[in-house]
Structures are given as structure tokens and as C-alpha cells.
């Protein structure tokens, strides 16, 4: 697993501390944290392909599709891409809306995400409102065969006694405002 643009490695720290799960972190900018020996940072030249690539709060900062393509290129042919970003159909006209800050330069809609999914070979997705993450599954992912992914999401929802995961063949267009 890789956390692309993982910052100070907060998720990697938690996963390792509480679950003994090692999450590699790629980060271009947080150099002062890279030598703390708590997080395993990976250098750009050592990036590979991964079964799971996570990306949190970065898509809204990217102005060139080639940068999105690079993130996707790190996902194995049968892998998963987990994205935390804002998806909106309408941009509020409120000049004080926190997302209209100069650092946010891209807005994604359900349609734009559906196009990226199709172009990149993802066929099914799950959205978790609690984590505000989309989980995109490539066509060859073992979880997508014979409707297993929908059944899996439904079984977790039943076990948790709440609608934790929303499944869709294609992009899960949860936010339609």
C-alpha cells in the first residue's frame, strides 16, 4: 500500500502503531518529517505499482491531468485507488466558502470522476460518507468478480447496522448537489 502525498504520515503512524500495518508514504514536500524513523517514506525513484494507492485531499490542488495520471499509474492492474476529495455538481457563490481559497484550483464533478474512472480502467466504486472516501476498483480486482463487491459492501452495512458503504457499478455519485 502507498499513501501518495501522505504529508507527515499520520495515517501510516496510526496503522503501524495500532495494527502493525506498514503503509509506505510518498511525499515531495515534508522533508523535516522524513527522518523520524517512524514512517517509511519512499523516494520518487523507488515508486512502484501497488495493490492500494491512497490519496487524501490532493485532487483539488492539481491543475494538470498528467499529475493525476501519475498517481493512477502507481495502481496495479487489479488494484484499488482510494481518494478523499471534494466532489460537487455546483460551486457555491459564497466568496467566503473555504474551498474557494487560492490553493484549491480544481473542482471535480461526478461526471469528471466517471470519465477518469473509465479512462483508467476502474469499473466499480464504493463511497463511505463517514470517511469521505471513494474506493475505486479496477476491472480485474478479485472483489469485482460476479457481483462480489456489492455483496461485500451490503454484508458490512448489515453487520454495522448502518449504511456505511454505498456501492455503484461505475462512479458512486453520492453528492449530487
Q: Report pLDDT for 90.
A: 80
Max CA distance (Å), the chain:
47
Nine-digit cell string for 158: 448489515
Instruction: Mean pLDDT check: name the lowest of 30-39, 61-70, 84-93, 165-174.
Output: 30-39
Q: What is the pLDDT of residues 83-132, one digit of tens each?
A: 998 888 887 788 787 777 666 667 788 898 999 999 999 999 999 999 99
pLDDT band at 175; cut points 50, 70, 90? confident
- How much is the mean pLDDT over the chain? 88
Domain extents in the chain? 49-169
Listed in sequence order, the residues at least 6 apart from 79 whose beta carbon sits closer than 8 Å to its beta carbon are 49, 50, 51, 52, 53, 138, 141
> Averaged over 2-27, what is the pLDDT?
93
From 123, 122, 134, 129, select the one nearest 160 (Cα to Cα).
129
Residue 147 DSSP code: G
Q: Report pLDDT for 104.
A: 67
Q: Is the dihedral of CA 59, 63, 65, 68 positive or negative?
A: negative
- How far is Cα 137 from Cα 79, in angstroms, rounded to an integer? 6
Residue 80 has pLDDT above 80, yes or no: yes
pTM for this structure? 0.89
Instruction: Mean pLDDT check: name the lowest of 40-44, 49-53, 144-148, 171-175.
Output: 144-148
- Cα angle 7, 13, 18 (rounded to 5 degrees) comes to 155
- How far is Cα 22 from Cα 71, in angstroms, rounded to an integer? 20
Instruction: Please check whether residue 104 is in contact with residue 60, taking contact to mean a CB–CB distance below 8 angstroms.
Output: yes
Amino acid at each position: 500500500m502507498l499513501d501518495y502525498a501522505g504529508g507527515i504520515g499520520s495515517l501510516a503512524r496510526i496503522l503501524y502503531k495500532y495494527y502493525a500495518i506498514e503503509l509506505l508514504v510518498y511525499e515531495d514536500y515534508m522533508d523535516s518529517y522524513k527522518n523520524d524513523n517512524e514512517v517509511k517514506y519512499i523516494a520518487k525513484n523507488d515508486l512502484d505499482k501497488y495493490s492500494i494507492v491512497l490519496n487524501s485531499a490532493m485532487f483539488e490542488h492539481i491543475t494538470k491531468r498528467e499529475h493525476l495520471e501519475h498517481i493512477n499509474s502507481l495502481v496495479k492492474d487489479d488494484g484499488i485507488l482510494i481518494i478523499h476529495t471534494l466532489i460537487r455538481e455546483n460551486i457555491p457563490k459564497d466568496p467566503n466558502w473555504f474551498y474557494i481559497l487560492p490553493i484549491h484550483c480544481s473542482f471535480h464533478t461526478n461526471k469528471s470522476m466517471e470519465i477518469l474512472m473509465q479512462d483508467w480502467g476502474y469499473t466499480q466504486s464504493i463511497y463511505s460518507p463517514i470517511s469521505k472516501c471513494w474506493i475505486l476498483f479496477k476491472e480485474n480486482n478479485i472483489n469485482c468478480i460476479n457481483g462480489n463487491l456489492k455483496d461485500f459492501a451490503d454484508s458490512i452495512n448489515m453487520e454495522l447496522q448502518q449504511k456505511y458503504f454505498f456501492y455503484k457499478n461505475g462512479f458512486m455519485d453520492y453528492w449530487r448537489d
